[in-house]
């Protein structure tokens, strides 16, 4: 199986031993507390689950600045996006051992325990520079920039021990999996070449066919549809609805033991190219050998070129940085000429009118009116789930 990033074995920060975990939870009740923001909480979940291997906690300011600028920590570890704990709380001092509390669960239970190595003030200028480098823009209208620049100016770094996986393990039981669990699942299935498909949306017919194309062309043993379960921007479809859509598609249209449906607990960054590289890092950590990177991968609005998330791997990621390989894909759509889904770049004799193309706005209008999109765009079983969701929103 493919090695994790940066180490020979996976080093998840979740405390798996139940007795030790109980002792730490009891200890946490007597420790000073910090209520995390959602971004820092999501980082803790990813660290605990082994997705952010080999990191052992939150980065300090020097590492954060280095990663934002050069995609490497100060000691040379390749990493595309800072993994940090920014806060507005000024009460924590270096050398403290503190309980990190979950902002996304009622009662704010302890999510992790942190040994604070350093507390550092971050200037607005440094925040702005990092945002520009991570997101490729400083525009406050960009949802990722808007979130990042409001997290706070106090950075706490140090190692953590993760004690639970927030709301993900209960709210998405059967879908949320750690990198450790996915590796075990891959091994149990006997897969060797494994394609990962990233999604924050329900999968339409074109997405389904893209997974099928990748598996066939790579001669892969299987595909993992790996969906984001954390916070999105307003208007995006909730994770439970996406989960139901994807499972229905897989159950009906893929052979048994060819596709795994799984999810991870992280908030969407909308960082385009940088986020695509982060996706590759943690898919390697979960055991995937290939990641599908399509048009506008992890993008939002018009902030990124359609293929920037692919070219970053050839132009900015060193050849020896990652073992996982990228399957570069164009936009896929139903060809009226060929009566099948094709990659648009592979149909040079087509123009726009030769494809079945529907805007997101048009699809939402149809579904809200109880009208299924054409079968060349969406499987009817999936459309039925989406129509029920949109009509419940209207009601």
| Structural domains of the chain, ranges and CATH numbers in brackets | 18-169 (3.10.400.10), 175-394 (3.40.50.620)
Task: Average the pLDDT over 187-216 and give the result.
Answer: 95
Q: pTM of the entire structure?
A: 0.95
Average pLDDT, the chain: 95
**Which of helix, strand or coil describes residue 188?**
helix
How far is Cα 352 from Cα 333, in angstroms, rounded to an integer? Answer: 10
Least confidently predicted of 138-152, 184-198, 228-242: 228-242
How far is Cα 306 from Cα 68, in angstroms, rounded to an integer? Answer: 22
Please give the pLDDT value at position 207. Answer: 94
Task: Average the pLDDT over 14-24 and give the result.
Answer: 98
DSSP-assigned letter for residue 80: S
Nearest partner of 78 among 379, 351, 280, judged by Cα: 280
Both tokens of 366, joined, read 């149809």
Query: Which residues are tagged catalytic?
Result: 200-201
């929103």: which residue's tokens? 393
Strand partners, 33: 99
Please give the pLDDT value at position 395. Answer: 61
Rounded to the nearest 5°, which phi and psi values hold at 67?
-65, -45
Q: Residue 132: count other Cβ atoms within 10 Å of its Cβ.
A: 14
């Amino acid at each position: 199986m493919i090695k994790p990033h940066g180490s020979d074995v996976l080093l998840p920060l979740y405390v798996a031993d139940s007795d030790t975990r109980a002792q730490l939870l009891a200890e946490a009740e007597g420790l000073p507390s910090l209520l995390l923001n959602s971004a820092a909480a999501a980082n803790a979940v990813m660290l605990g689950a082994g997705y952010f291997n080999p990191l052992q906690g939150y980065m300090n300011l020097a590492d954060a600045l280095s990663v934002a600028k050069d995609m490497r920590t100060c000691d040379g570890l390749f990493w595309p996006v800072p993994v940090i704990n920014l806060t507005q709380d000024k009460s924590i001092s270096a050398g403290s051992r503190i309980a990190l509390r979950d902002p996304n669960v009622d009662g704010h239970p302890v999510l992790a325990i942190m040994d604070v190595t350093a507390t550092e003030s971050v200037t607005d200028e440094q925040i702005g520079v990092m945002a520009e480098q991570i997101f490729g823009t400083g525009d406050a209208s960009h949802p990722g920039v808007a979130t990042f620049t409001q997290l706070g100016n106090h950075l706490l770094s140090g190692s953590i021990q993760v004690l639970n996986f927030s709301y993900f393990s209960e709210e998405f039981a059967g879908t949320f999996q750690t990198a450790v669990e996915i590796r075990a699942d891959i091994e149990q299935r006997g897969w060797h070449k494994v394609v990962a498909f990233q999604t924050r949306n329900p999968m339409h017919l074109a997405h389904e066919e893209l997974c099928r194309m990748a598996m066939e062309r790579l001669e892969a043993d299987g595909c993992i549809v790996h969906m984001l379960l954390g916070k999105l921007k307003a208007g995006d479809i909730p994770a439970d609805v996406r989960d139901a859509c994807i499972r229905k598609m897989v159950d009906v249209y893929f052979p048994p033991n060819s596709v795994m449906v799984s999810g991870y607990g992280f908030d969407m960054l909308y960082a385009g190219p940088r986020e695509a590289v982060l996706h590759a890092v943690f898919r390697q950590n979960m055991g995937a050998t290939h990641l599908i990177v399509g048009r506008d991968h992890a993008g939002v609005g018009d902030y990124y070129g359609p293929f920037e998330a692919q070219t970053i791997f050839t132009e900015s990621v060193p050849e020896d940085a990652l073992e996982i390989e990228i399957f570069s894909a164009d936009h896929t759509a139903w060809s009226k000429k060929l009566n099948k889904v094709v990659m648009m770049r592979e149909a040079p004799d087509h123009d726009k009118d030769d494809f079945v193309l529907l805007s997101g706005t048009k699809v939402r209008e149809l579904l809200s009116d109880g009208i299924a999109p054409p079968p060349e765009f969406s499987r009817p079983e999936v459309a039925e789930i989406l129509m029920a969701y949109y009509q419940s929103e209207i009601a």
